[in-house]
Amino acid sequence: MTVFNIIFYIAAAIVVGATGLAITRKQVVHAVCYLVISFMGTAVLFYILGAPLLAALEVIIYAGGIMVLFLFVVMMVKDTPPSIDKPSRVKRWLPAMILAGTSALISGLLVFADPGNRLRPPIVTGTPQEFGNILFKDYWFPVEIASLLLLAALIGAHYLGRRADHPEDTP
């Protein structure tokens, strides 16, 4: 039991706890704040699992970018009235239960098919240099597609978010 094991389990507990709090909040702002904690814990996990660049990106993109965008929009949008109709508890929870059962089944199969694997590698396996080499040598085409996806998302978000009463915004 080294210190990294202890850090791993503490970080995992923080991630699970913060996510559990996030998905049960009624207020969206509270949920987003807990989710930021969850993403910070995930970054620690990534670092321990040998992905320092992804740990940094997790903080920058997820916690710093996506969640801040979320907060902006949540504060832009007015408070929402409560639900119109109240469906039964079964109708609400049945799909989630089915999914949980399926996931448990698949994970059980995965675990029993490959049991007892212990990870003993060094703390950092993937340096950013190695990461970039593989990314731009073997994955240059997916990188282009990802950039195109981001461009499409940018244009789409701008088009959907424009105001109809601003004539200069309409194309």
Partner 1 sequence: MTIPFTHMLFLAILLFVMGAACAMTRKNLFLILIGVEVMLNAAGIAFVAAAMRWLDMNGQIMVLFVMTAAAAEIAVALALIICFQRQSGSTNADRLSLLKG
Tell the smallest beta-carbon distance from residue 103 to partner 1 (Å): 5
Give the position of tokens 């559990």: 20
Contact 35, 67 (CB under 8 A): yes
Cβ at position 168, least distance to partner 1 in Å: 18
Which residues, 139 to 168, sit near partner 1 by CB under 8 A? 139, 142, 146, 149-150, 152-154, 156-161
Output the CA torsion sign for 105, 110, 112, 117: negative
70 within 8 A of 33, measured Cβ to Cβ: no
Distance between CA atoms of residues 62 and 133, nearest Å:
23
- Minimum distance of partner 1 from residue 110's CB (angstroms): 6
By CB under 8 A, is residue 10 in contact with partner 1?
Answer: no
Q: Does 109 engage in binding with partner 1 (CB under 8 A)?
A: no
| Binder among 109, 123, 144, 169 for partner 1 (CB under 8 A) | 123
Does 85 sit near partner 1 (CB under 8 A)?
Answer: yes
Q: Is 66 in the site for partner 1 (CB under 8 A)?
A: yes
Quote the CA–CA distance of 107 and 103 in Å, as a whole number.
6
CB of 169 to partner 1, least distance (A): 13
Greatest Cα pair distance, the chain, in angstroms, is 65
